[in-house]
Amino acid sequence: MLGDLLPFVVAGIVSGSLYGLAGLGLVLTYRTSGVFNFGYGAIAAAAAFAFYTLHDSHGLAWPLAALIVVVGFAVVVGPLLELVTRILVGAPDALVIVATVGILLGLEGYLYKQYGDSTIAFPQFLPTSGFTVSGVQITWAQVISTGVAVVGAVGINIFLRTTRSGVSMRAVVDNPRLVRLGGERPERIRLLGWALGAGAAAISGILLAPVLNLDVNLLTLLVVQALGACAIGLFRSLPLTFVGGLAVGVSAALATKWITRPPLNGLPAAMPFVILVVVLLVVRRSQLPESRASLAGLIAPVRSGLSRAANTAVAAVGAAVLVIVPWVVGTKLPVWIAAMGYFVLFASLSLLVWGSGQISLCHAAFVGLGATTLGHLTHAGVPWPVALVLSGLLTMPAGALVAIPAIRLSGIYLALATLGFGIVMQDIVFGSFLMFGSNAEVTASRPSFGFISQSDRSLYYVALAVAVLCAAAVIVIYRSRFGRFLRAMAETPLMLRSQGLSVNMTRLCVVCLSAFLAGISGGLLITQVGTVSGVTFGSVQSLLYVVVLGICGTRLIRSPVIAALLLGVLPGYAHINLDTQTLTFGIVAIAAALIQARRDALSVAIGRLAATSDRRQPPVRRAGPAPRLRTRREVEVKT
């Protein structure tokens, strides 16, 4: 019995030690810089590809190729990340998330472009001969790989304990506030952290590649699975993170042995995220290191902006254009129908992110749930309008599940928990009869009732009507008492609680509302395409949604409109290759986040100047509910 398990344990230890090393680098950089790098896995993937090019394409010996890649990543990627961090200092979590997810998408897009979408076989470069211990075949490759990971982890620990820079760095990891006390310059510590982190990512990427082969997506997400390790170390303890990596590796390997049948056969792959989600749900918030400035303040309304009349004019022109679209765009109409679906999707995200200061990295799962629900219902003969409403309503329970982390967590941890939730959904629920089932795809029929036919033109007007209704709903919600609670909650939930409001109820409501709208958007999208499969709603899509919304600014309605044009309409006209699109979005996201972060500081500096020169400003009225970026810290008064 035990003999059966041993091979799995060995395989688990091999990959687990690499997760551990990757997790170690991730925690190290998070603690020294305050920036949680969602692009960490992509960096590991890039390293694996660089190694592949040097070793397999150019025939460099593997030790040399590995050395070049690891050192190269440490000295090139490290300083680049430090530069990004320097610009992001003091920026709220949302911007940091957009910027680092931008790194992820940019690198992923680049790798796909460069190396193609298909998985490249990556032969094991280490010696594959081996020996047998109590019936278990162990290869030298496994020994070397684990050895390197352990040496890397121990090396980092020794460095942190013996060298001067290392000791100050360890102090910062334990308590980031100490950074200025030791007389060490924070930039230096951060730079060192990023270099070590990039090196660790490169090592684990190179060593994982032979196990997984060169699949961009798998590598990107698998090293992000180091998150499971980080969670066990509570994002704080380096040794525990390494142990956590081993635990993740072994439990995932054992899960592959025991769980082989659907629907749970996706579980092994999702294991690190299951661990992540469980840890985030179980530990007390105070046990996790404090995340940065909250999303609060992002939604501070602008003081000026367009006047009411100008707003109305823009809306009227927009409405006129939308009404005549089917008569002018010709064969491109499907693109515009899809744009309506995307608009509802982004409106749902905008309500959540800009409206209430929470974040969701699992929106694609909601959209997918809505889409499949509509498909199943129309199949069962439910009239389309009823099915659409139901696809929204039936997505709400998933929203309620996500509300649990939303109630307990905020900032980066909420982002991670929702990311984990999305991946768990994708790996476990997508394959079930509730969603795509064993066919892996779902079809939906179009609405046809009364004077509405199945033509594109009819569908366009139906979709337009739904989108307008959803926009109106979002505006009404945002202006209602509930919307005011949301805005206040983003800045000071403490005040609301002390005034007697159950903010958990508020959070539950907003996440459910957002899920409802996401479900509706899924219904619209599937109706337009006709048939969808699970890959359309993967977790990378969720990341893409957040990034695109981030690029389009922080307005409640305007940003979703622009985002829908960008993601729905633009690709229909400019025949951009998908990888180029991902790459571009990634780069633009990084740039947008960095500009936002600086513009913020700039506008605050100007505001401060104005405030000191003129104390008695005229009464300032807000012009509508349009949100704009401002970090909380900058308008806070120290007491």
Partner 1 sequence: MSDGLRISDLTVAYGGNVVVSKLSLAAATGEITGLIGPNGAGKTTIFNVCSGLVRPRSGSVRLLGRDVTRTSPARRAQLGLGRSFQRIELCTAMTVRENVEIGLEARQAGLNPLRHFGMARGSRASVATRVSDAIERCGLSASADHVVATLPTGRRRLVELARVLASDFSMLLLDEPSSGLDDAETAVFADILTSTVADLGTGILLVEHDMSLVMKVCQQIHVIDFGTLIFSGTPAQVQKSEAVRAAYLGAESVEAVS
Binding site for partner 1 (CB under 8 A): 297, 299-301, 303, 480-482, 484-485, 487-488, 491-492, 494-503, 505-506, 509, 611, 615, 617, 619-622, 630, 632, 635-637, 639
In the complex, what is the shortest distance from the CB of residue 631 to partner 1, in angstroms, rounded to a whole number? Answer: 11
Minimal CA–CA distance to 35: which of 603, 593, 613?
Answer: 593
In the complex, what is the shortest distance from the CB of residue 299 to partner 1, in angstroms, rounded to a whole number? Answer: 8
Nearer Cβ to partner 1, position 288 or 547?
288
Nearer Cβ to partner 1, position 360 or 631?
631
DSSP lists the bridge partners of residue 627 as 301
Q: How far is CA 584 from CA 246, 350, 396, 486, 542, in A?
A: 36, 22, 33, 33, 17
Spatial separation of the C-alpha atoms in residues 545 and 422, rounded to whole Å: 13
Nearer Cβ to partner 1, position 184 or 491?
491
Q: Which helix (H) or strand (E) holds 532?
A: strand 531-533
Which residue stretches of 380-502 are H helix? 384-393, 396-408, 411-424, 456-479, 481-491, 493-498
In the complex, what is the shortest distance from the CB of residue 27 to partner 1, in angstroms, rounded to a whole number? Answer: 22
In the complex, what is the shortest distance from the CB of residue 42 to partner 1, in angstroms, rounded to a whole number? Answer: 35
In the complex, what is the shortest distance from the CB of residue 635 to partner 1, in angstroms, rounded to a whole number? Answer: 5
Is residue 190 within 8 Å of residue 82, measured between CB atoms? yes
Nearer Cβ to partner 1, position 494 or 606?
494
Peptide bond into 262 cis (omega under 30): no
In the complex, what is the shortest distance from the CB of residue 305 to partner 1, in angstroms, rounded to a whole number? Answer: 13
In the complex, what is the shortest distance from the CB of residue 268 to partner 1, in angstroms, rounded to a whole number? Answer: 39
Nearer Cβ to partner 1, position 355 or 522?
355
Classify residue 584 by burial, with Cβ atoms within 10 Å: 0-12, 13-18, 19+. middle
Is residue 126 within 8 Å of residue 141, measured between CB atoms? yes
Nearer Cβ to partner 1, position 91 or 590?
91
Nearer Cβ to partner 1, position 236 or 457?
236
Nearer Cβ to partner 1, position 380 or 637?
637
Strand extents, DSSP E, 93-184: 130-133, 136-139
User: Coil, strand or helix: which one is 357?
Assistant: coil
In the complex, what is the shortest distance from the CB of residue 489 to partner 1, in angstroms, rounded to a whole number? Answer: 9
Spatial separation of the C-alpha atoms in residues 352 and 349, rounded to whole Å: 5
Residues ≥6 apart with Cβ < 8 Å to 373: 387, 390, 391, 394, 395, 519, 522, 523
